[in-house]
Amino acid sequence: MDLFVINRHGDSKPEVTAEEETAKLATVLKRIERKKQQRIRQREREREKRQTPKKNPKQKTTVPKRPPKTPEADEFIEPQPKIKRPPDLKSFTILGASTAAKKPKADRVLPQWLANPTVISSDLQELTCKVSKLKELDKGLREQLKANGVKYLFPVQAEVIPWVLQSRQNADIMFPRDVCVSAPTGSGKTLAFVLPVVQTLKQFTVRKIRALVILPTQDLAEQVFKSFKLYTQGTRIEVGLVSGKQMFQAEQKQLVYFNECFGFVSKIDILVCTAGRLVNHLKSTNGFNLQALEFLIIDEADRVLESVQDDWLYHLEKHIYTIQNRKVLNVCTLQRQRAPQKLLFSATLTQDPEKIEKLSLFQPKLFTSSVVENSNESEEKPMILTGKYTTPKELTEKYIVCSKDVKPLVLYAFLKRENLTKTLVFTHSVESAHRLKILLKSLFKKRLKIEEISSNLKGKSRDEFISSFTKGEVDLLICTDFLARGIDLPGVNCVISYSAPKYLKTYIHRAGRTARAGESGLAVTLLHEEQVPAFKTLLKKEIEEVEVGVEELEGLSEKYKKALGKLKEAVNEEQKVGMESVLSKKKAFKKLKKKVINSVK
């Protein structure tokens, strides 16, 4: 560094002439000027980069040649700051990006028996299978069917009955496969298991419970019991019913009796029951034995599997299977009593693997009418289950949009305009059904006979109302979803959902009370404005909207006000009566308590 001179202590100062000082100062000024020019050029290049648009990357860009570097210039060039480039985000998944929506949807993978079902026709108008041509059924059952007016079998019966009977032919050497049936309401599922069971049990001489039928409600159990009694006439087969309608001790006497030589002996061959009552008898009835079961039939299977009350499946398996590792196949398990053949029936059969796994089905076979074939013909893919849920072709579906304030009035106007009789009206609660009955009675007066039915009514009262409705003595029956499952009410013209269904299953079973056995029917749903989108999404199809005009309602306003006043009076009167009955019960309890205390003293 010749610009700086360091003088050490004791050194003599060098002599610098004026010319040398002028030359050194000129050199320093040149270097400062060069550095200043370099900074100016650098700023101009950066400004040009910001102003010029981005060029196509495919086009070749010419880079100007830089002047050769001199060692003097390198000493004063400052390091340029590094420009931060934005990170490349293409390799990262961005939530909500358009690229994510374009990805192909993964196909649902189902077990083989669910992915490849036997498809049943849902057309009940053109029946082709004659009873006389079904040679798998014995002559006695064919004649009994004809005597009951059955000349043709429905598609479900024509497919399931022969298959079950053929599977039983080699049941001594081969385990029969289990059966699942998913078909619309009113398609004849009951006879599809009644006839094979009756024909199979005719070959047994020793009386034991060989068929167990489990149902969700008392009324449905009684209906299936009557079907079995009808087709076991003239045979030695005895059918029993335990549903809770009778006293527990009376049901015990129907099931077993005690013999001094043989111990407890069964009185019946077929047992129709509800799940809760079955558990009671498994726990408390001595001699009640299901070890000889050949058939386990679950009707309305999705509802029965959902009911976890008393854990009926656990107690049933514990009673039937005496060994713990029943799924292990060896000499020991083969010598024991094998598992019964399971037959599952429902209009809304579940596809939930967890629920199906509980039943331990053996190589199940599925019969269904709820199938849609793959739309792409070029690709060979299995059929897709819509699984769920189909309505009969004979059913006409409509909906009405109205406000909450005038909903009962809209219902009244619609019933009056269409002149509907033999109609079911479904509400969401017992209280709603009761109040709607009072309101419609005051509106119709004596023109229509209106009754209500719910779970609050006792068995005899329910049976009387159902019988009166079936005979046509009751025009309008207001009910809860208690009546929506499986019960066959012949000749129902219309089903009205006064309270909109929350679930598709509820809608299917409500609408299934009409359009049964090939007859036509109408299903109407009353909706508020905000419920319409959710309802259409639920059905996944377009249905007709019916309008009740303002002109129709305006003329009924005074009548509606009077009816609301009568409803208020009736509700207040019922509340007073209810309070009086509660007080009288309390007084009676106090008197009884005093008597007990006095007797102890």
Which tens digit of pLDDT belongs to each residue from 157-177?
Answer: 999 999 999 999 888 788 899
Q: Which of 207, 352, 361, 205 shows the shortest CA–CA distance to 271?
A: 207
Which tens digit of pLDDT belongs to each residue from 186-216?
Answer: 888 999 999 999 999 999 999 999 999 999 8
Residue 22 pLDDT exceeds 90: no
Instruction: Say how many C-beta atoms besides its own lie within 10 A of residue 66's C-beta.
Output: 6
Indicate the SS3 state at residue 289. coil
Which tens digit of pLDDT belongs to each residue from 377-386?
Answer: 444 444 445 4
| Multiple choice CATH, 395-555, 3.40.50.300, 2.40.30.10, 3.30.200.20, 1.20.1260.10 | 3.40.50.300
Distance from C-alpha of 391 to C-alpha of 411, rounded to nearest angstrom = 24
Please state which of the ranges 68-82, 244-258, 515-529 shows the lowest mean pLDDT: 68-82
> Which amino acid, 509?
H
Q: Which residues contact 216 (CB under 8 A, 6 or more apart)?
A: 274, 275, 300, 303, 304, 307, 485, 486
User: pTM value?
Assistant: 0.72
Residues of the chain with CATH 3.40.50.300: 115-384, 395-555
> Which amino acid, 253?
K
User: Across residues 97-111, what is the average pLDDT?
Assistant: 63
pLDDT of residue 283: 92
Band of residue 499 on the pLDDT scale cut at 50, 70, 90: very high
pLDDT of residue 202: 94
Residue 324 pLDDT exceeds 90: no
pLDDT of residue 235: 93
> Using CA atoms in the order 252, 253, 254, 257, what is the torsion angle rounded to 10 degrees?
110
What CATH number does the domain located at 115-384 have? 3.40.50.300
Instruction: Say how many C-beta atoms besides its own lie within 10 A of residue 127's C-beta.
Output: 16
